[in-house]
Amino acid sequence: MLWPRPSRPIGDPLGIAPRTFLIVGADHKRAPDLLREHLQGDEADVLRLLSRCREIGLDQAMVVATCDRCEVWAAVTDETRAAADITALIAEAAGAEVPQVAPHLHYLTERAALRYSFAVASSLESQVVGEPQVLGQVKDAYQFAAKRGAMGGELDGILQAAFAAAKRVRTETDIAAQSVSMAACVVKLARQVHGKLDNLGALLVGDGDLGQMVAEQLREAGVTRWTMVHGSAARAQDIAARFKAHAASLADLPQALIDADIVVAALDSARTVIDAAMVSAALKKRRHRPMLLVDFAVPGDVDAKVDAIDDAFRYTFDDLERLAMAGRQERSAAIKAANAIIEEELDQFLRAQEARGIGDSLASLRDHFEAERLALLSENPKMDAAELSRRLVNRLLHRPITALRDDAKDTDLERAVRRLFGLDRNKE
């Protein structure tokens, strides 16, 4: 919960409408690759899902859509109804029925949702822990929602706290070293296979975050001639524009492979898109100039039978992770330190919200008392002080006394009331 809830239902006389932080969505840990592929969309798809959230009454919501996850983060007043509604919207976005999608989604509320949001922003929930672009993706989702009026005070406060936690994780730990070292491994492998990199042709298949990061590292190392391939022509054009490269479709893969000294596969299509016959044909036309194929998809985009082909060097996600994790002990220490920071930031955030919630409740209580006093005066302006005070006491105590009778067996509540009003001291 964002703030302490009263025991009364929403719409109590104090006017408090508490909200719950809710996260519903699919991620790489629970959802099949095929489902995540259907949910990976461009900006128009994200806008459509965000607009549908607004249509069903979610006035504080954002959509986090990457190759690792498609989730709705929202501050809601009715978590049960909101969870069901968001599930239906995600199923709609995936082009599937709710019973097909719901078992693969995760539902987080309260502290678990807060901790998860901090961990996602800090890249502790990514396929490769420490991916540096994840924080940027969450910030983009936040700004996208804010520009469209979907970022209220409660959700904004959570996101600002998540960003602060992520910043501490980045500056106080070496959590980003793993993904950076994996990209460095690819550059090193490329040099081992090809020597100099400046005259090479490279092919990026798909838009996976790690694949794009490795492509950036290869560009910085000197590989500037790129072709971008994606199942979506619009997405291929978007990535190609960013890399100043040529865009191609999946149908163009056999031809694109001929000029590919390096292939970075990150489509995550849940099926093989580069098979052994395709690679053999390309190598023959290349006069058997070697080809390095780096496959970040799980399951792979590149057929494992490629390993039997001379002059083709295939490395999977697991291969690269093993190479990059020579310092496994250091990485584990960084993850432990990062998790400790997140717990500290989470406790600090919850304490601040609790203090703010108490202040808001006291202000509402004062306003409520004043409203009752003015209401009595307006009913009978000539009422004498004794009658006014008697009626005011009865009005103010009516709901608390009813609540105490309803919860007569709650000894903690009784003790709290006696302490609050000093009733035990009155006996002395």
Of 16-25, 98-107, 245-254, 338-347, which range is least confident? 16-25
Q: Does the fold of domain 177-322 match that of domain 20-173?
A: no
Return the minimum-mean-pLDDT range out of 276-290, 387-401, 412-426.
412-426
The CATH code for residues 177-322 is: 3.40.50.720
Q: Give the pLDDT score at 262.
A: 96
Pairwise CA distance, residues 155 & 75, whole Å: 6
| Res 75: pLDDT | 95
Write out the H or E segment, with its range, that includes residue 218. Answer: helix 209-221
User: What confidence score (pLDDT) does residue 33 get?
Assistant: 61
The better pLDDT of the pair 25, 134 is held by 25
Known active-site residue 67:
yes
- What local confidence, expressed as pLDDT, does residue 10 receive? 32
Residue 394's pLDDT is: 79
pLDDT the model gives residue 9: 33
pLDDT at 213 over 80: yes
pLDDT confidence of residue 356: 66
> Mean per-residue pLDDT for 25-35?
76
3-state secondary structure of 6: coil
Nearest alpha-carbon partner for 291 in 315, 251, 260: 260
pLDDT for the residue numbered 102: 93
Q: Is pLDDT at 14 greater than 50 in this prediction?
A: no
Bridge partners of 70, per DSSP, are: 26, 65
User: Domains of the chain: which residue ranges?
Assistant: 20-173, 177-322
Of the residues 53, 67, 70, 185, only one is catalytic, namely 67
What is the dotted CATH code of the domain comprising 20-173?
3.30.460.30
Q: What is the mean pLDDT of the chain?
A: 83
pLDDT at 16: 46
| Average pLDDT over every residue of 258-267 | 93
CA 396 to chain centre: 45
Mean pLDDT across the stretch 50-77? 92
pTM recorded for the entire structure: 0.64
Contact in structure between 126 and 296 (CB atoms under 8 Å): no
Range 76-103 burial, b when 16+ CB lie within 10 A, else e? bbebeebbebbbbbbbebbebeeeebbe
CA separation (Å) from 109 to 56, 79, 82, 116, 358? 19, 8, 11, 10, 21
- Residue 319 or residue 299, greater confidence: 319
**What is the band of 11 on the pLDDT scale with cuts at 50, 70, 90?**
very low
Q: Is 328 helix (H, G, I), strand (E, B) or coil?
A: helix
Q: Are 22 and 76 in contact (CB under 8 A)?
A: yes
pLDDT exceeds 50 at position 15:
no
**For residues 154 and 166, what is the distance between their CA atoms, to the nearest angstrom?**
19
Instruction: Looking at mean pLDDT, say which of 77-81, 177-181, 379-383, 424-428 comes out highest.
Output: 77-81
For residue 259, what are its two tokens? 């000029």
